[in-house]
Amino acid sequence: MKGPAIFLAQFMGDEAPFNNLKDIANYMADLGYKGMQLPSWDGRCMDLQKAAESKDYAQEIVGIVKEAGMEVTELSTHLQGQLVAVHPAYDDMFDGFAPPEMRGNPKARTAWAVQQLKYGAQASRNMGLDAHATFSGALLWHTVYPWPQRPAGLVETGFKELADRWLPILNAFDEVGVDLCYEIHPGEDLHDGVTYERFLEATGNHERACLLYDPSHYVLQQLDYLQFIDIYHEKIKMFHVKDAEFNPTGRSGVYGGYQDWKERPGRFRSLGDGQVDFVGIFSKLAQYGYKGWAVLEWECCIKHPEQGAAEGAPFISDHMITVTEKAFDDFAGTGADEALNKRILGIS
């Protein structure tokens, strides 16, 4: 495992040092981070199309981060991925993710989003990256609770359409040798293990359809996030280190009662302030040989982001495990002796 790293999406802003890549890289390096995950839609970080079409420009971005003593860990197209599949009920709410000229035109918006993902594949390769983060979008999310009763075949049709939209993108990532990692997230059709499996099957078990593991979203939906690693560790290629808590009451539970983040039973917290068992998570990822980055995604409804960032690097460092190369009881070993083994087993 590599780290600590930090996702910049929640930190970019119009005030220095958060308004350009060079200054924020130096700021995060001073806090102890070794890598940064870049939001590809934020022009203060990068120009995604230019990074796809110009390897020189892509390497210039890498060089800016390297000058601060860090690495670019991955690129993110979360917002663009959301727009690959949008149910009409959400058109107005998601239009803000697209450029102004695409708003009010769902077909053009979708085509733009698909092209953005393809740019993301090539830009990732031009930067020498092996994994890329995104959202799946959603056609079925408005039916997540089965009332009214879903018509027969609705879910199958929805996942077939979702797969049809993503297969050309997945193939583009396969052509450049980059894994496309879907963040399992509410509001996406890929919001738990079952839906990921449905999607994987609909894509013909596409090799590049991988996972971004973020336990905070599993806490909020009461999913066993440790067992999730046991089940899907071979597909987990990215890791967002994010904390959360779930404190249900007699008045509100998983659905949250349309309350703001501070009042919801389930809410995101800064690292160490929530309920996530990071000792268990880091142990399991080490057990299964996870080789990617541990990337802080800071989201908290209480703590200031700069405090969260400052606390995040040492928190991740303290939890990272250097995997042992020998067994703890090797000192008591008796060596390899086939004849001895056969005598112990009573084999003549």
pLDDT digit string, tens, across residues 119-129: 999 999 999 99
Name the pLDDT band for 337 (thresholds 50, 70, 90): confident
pLDDT of 348: 77
pLDDT digit string, tens, across residues 263-283: 999 999 999 999 999 999 999
Sign, CA dihedral 85-86-88-92, equals negative
Both tokens assigned to 93 = 């709410």
pLDDT of 309: 98
User: 121, 178 in Cβ contact below 8 A?
Assistant: yes
Q: Are strands 243-246 and 266-269 parallel, antiparallel or unpaired?
A: antiparallel
Both tokens assigned to 25 = 């890289």
Answer whether residue 332 shows pLDDT above 90. no
CA distances from 261 to 97, 249, 266 (A): 21, 15, 8
Both tokens assigned to 247 = 């404190």
Residue ranges of domains in the chain: 2-345
pLDDT of 313: 98
The 10 Å Cβ neighbour count of residue 127 is 22
pLDDT of 324: 84
pLDDT digit string, tens, across residues 235-256: 999 999 999 999 999 999 999 9
Name the pLDDT band for 152 (thresholds 50, 70, 90): very high
What's the DSSP call for residue 185? Answer: -
pLDDT of 326: 83
pLDDT of 169: 98
pTM above 0.85, yes or no: yes
Work out the average pLDDT over 317-323.
96
Q: What 3-state class would DSSP assign to 267?
A: strand
CA distances from 130 to 52, 64, 185, 253, 282 (A): 15, 19, 22, 39, 21
Mean pLDDT of the chain: 97
Q: Are strands 209-213 and 179-183 parallel, antiparallel or unpaired?
A: parallel
Give CA–CA dist 154/143, Å, rounded. 10
pLDDT digit string, tens, across residues 63-106: 999 999 999 999 999 999 999 999 999 999 999 999 999 999 99
Answer whether residue 329 shows pLDDT above 90. no
Please give the radius of gyration of the chain, using alpha carbons only, rounded to the nearest integer: 22
pLDDT digit string, tens, across residues 195-235: 999 999 999 999 999 999 999 999 999 999 999 999 999 99
pLDDT of 24: 98
Name the pLDDT band for 328 (thresholds 50, 70, 90): confident
The 10 Å Cβ neighbour count of residue 96 is 9
Please state the φ and ψ torsions of residue 33, each to the nearest 5 degrees: -80, 150
pLDDT of 164: 98
Answer whether residue 336 shows pLDDT above 90. no
Q: What 3-state class would DSSP assign to 209?
A: strand
CATH number of this structure's domain 2-345, picked from the four choices 3.20.20.140, 3.20.20.150, 3.30.1050.10, 3.30.420.130: 3.20.20.150
